[in-house]
Chains A and B, each alone.
Chain A
Amino acid sequence: MNVFEPRLSSWLENAGDDDDVVLSSRIRLARNLKDEKFPIYEQKEEIVDQIAEVFDDSFSLFKMNQISLLEKALLVEKHLISPYMMNKSEYGAVLLNEEENVSIMLNEEDHLRIQCMTPGLRLFDALEAALQIDGYVEEKLTYAFDKQFGYLTSCLTNVGTGMRASVMVHLPGLVTTKRIKSVIEAIRSLGFVVRGIYGEGSMPASSIFQVSNQVTLGKTETEIVEDLTQVMEQIIMQERVARTTLKQKFHIALEDRVFRSYGLLMNCRIISMKEAADAISDIRLGVELGFFEHISRQKMNELVLFSQPAFLRKEAGRDMDELEEKVIRAKVIREILGDK
């Protein structure tokens, strides 16, 4: 299995719907086994084996107590396991398929967390894939389920469908035109949660945001996915309008910013995560606006993924201090960008 090798998972490599704005879609189902204590209070290794047995060998099992810390960190950076699983889950494990678009975490906060990812805005495809796996597990094992509360989860914010649908979007147009705040407020008022990715606070590095459903109870899975898809379509439209405005009214200023960021990444010798993420975001926008013909969207995803701390250590084959990390990051970025 080459999951630890520097390569893109299928959902970051292939094209998807509306992928000028949407990076990826994800469905997560939280499930627990009946009669067993939830793993946050008691973790049992047998449960991992019991669940893993349901899956055929198109899935590979990785147990947290059998892989290195670096390998765990690589899985976190690939969004295939959660930081919680890396840090807290002694008998945690993850089942991954070859394409890396399905990740089933075992003994995380719940016994199972089935996650399916797709490129672009394709929540329904992800939902279908997740429900198929869910049905497969359901035939062999009995879930904790209640007629009133639905699928029972450790946290009350997941109970019911146990489903979190989320979409990762790149919104540099709305950020630059300063419309992002009102857009985020509007999304929240509709009952969705917005988070910045790759950075803290409301103005994250890289202008990448994650939008997901807040409520998991009282709506069907399909309704939740329909609602979120509709909201996303609105956001996509607004982002495109903002980009067109920028291109028409501030063309030279925009070009200047994008090409300065390109110059930065092509020439830097020391660079932090935050500085790199912001510059990558500018170039990603430039790629979408047709400023660069030789750079693909996939290359942008490679830049984001492989400039993270664990991937740099993997690349160097050793641990390193902060400064050295910035030096290696600059080198890796120059290589990826310079490589046609």
Chain B
Amino acid sequence: MICQRCGENKAVIALQQLNEAGKVESLYLCENCAANEALSSEKDLVKAMDTFSEVALDFLTLLQKEENVQKKVVCGNCQLSFDEFLQTNRVGCSECYSAFEEQLVPIIGRVQNGYTKHVGKVPAEVERAEGVQNEISHLQEKLALLVKNEEFEEAAIIRDEIRALKAGGEDK
């Protein structure tokens, strides 16, 4: 669905308004236009922010339903379809996050105030693995340079270090 104000961007939110006939009308807006709409009345800002997070999830769910009718996306691990996710707003397993990544990222951004990247605690195991991986890449760069400069003796030492790291040994 396209934004009804600018007619360019994708609509992400529905604003409920009363028209002249006194009937409730939905105005579908993109993020920019919705933000402008909210800013235009300073007094309603707080209210608009509240509405944003509360209404957004439901509305996004509706939009996505519309877009995903044709292509049926299913998680290969737990067999949950994206349609089923939309009914419960709960994913079925950790693999769902990669299976539905394209669809989930905008929803996550919406319910998480625009954030889509984790910056908090990382499991110790992941942190260790990451540390080792970083060290390997660092050594590989060094090795390439040594080989280029034909310093083979030094290069052999580095190569063994890389092998040891890859084998899972953390000792030097």
Contact = CB atoms under 8 A, between A and B. Distances in A.
Contact of A146 (B50, B97, B124): B97
Contacts of B125: 138, 142
Interface stretch (A34-42, A272-280, A323-331): A34-42
A135 B50 CA distance: 35
Interface stretch (A2-10, A53-61, A149-157, A230-238): A149-157
B90 A148 contact: no
A214 B113 contact: yes
Interface string B20-36: 00000000000000000
Contacts of A36: 93
Contacts of B89: 155-156
Interface stretch (B65-73, B115-123, B140-148, B154-162): B115-123
Contacts of A217: 108, 112, 115-118
Interface in B46-71: 46, 49-50, 53
B94 A35 contact: yes
B104 A156 contact: yes
Interface in B1-49: 45-46, 49
Contact of B118 (A34, A35, A144, A149): A149
B90 A150 contact: no
A267 B2 CA distance: 65
A87 interface: no
Interface in B100-140: 104, 107-108, 111-126
Contacts of B45: 189
B91 interface: yes
A138 B123 contact: yes
In this complex, the interface size class of chain B, counting residues with CB under 8 Å from chain A, is 35 or more
B165 interface: no
A131 interface: yes
Given A138-B125, A155-B90, A41 B118 contact: no
B123 A218 contact: no
Nearest to B110: A156
A148 B118 contact: yes
B80 to A, nearest CB: 7
Contact of B113 (A35, A40, A151, A191): A191
Interface in A134-190: 134-135, 138-139, 142-152, 154-157, 159-161, 163, 185, 188-189
B94 A146 contact: yes
A191 B114 CA distance: 12
Contact of A160 (B78, B114, B118): B118
Contact of B121 (A41, A152, A220): A220
B88 A138 contact: no
B90 A109 contact: yes
B88 A150 contact: no
Interface in A28-48: 32, 34-38, 40-41
A38 B118 contact: no
22 contacts: A35-B93, A35-B94, A37-B77, A38-B91, A40-B90, A41-B92, A144-B94, A145-B123, A148-B117, A149-B108, A150-B118, A160-B118, A160-B120, A191-B113, A214-B53, A217-B115, A218-B116, A218-B118, A219-B119, A219-B120, A220-B119, A220-B120
Interface of A: 32, 34-38, 40-41, 109, 131, 134-135, 138-139, 142-152, 154-157, 159-161, 163, 185, 188-189, 191, 214-221
Interface of B: 45-46, 49-50, 53, 77-78, 80, 88-94, 97-98, 104, 107-108, 111-126
Given A154-B92, A191-B113, 18 more contacts: A36-B93, A38-B78, A41-B92, A134-B121, A138-B124, A138-B125, A139-B124, A145-B123, A156-B89, A157-B112, A159-B112, A188-B49, A189-B49, A214-B113, A215-B112, A217-B108, A217-B115, A218-B116
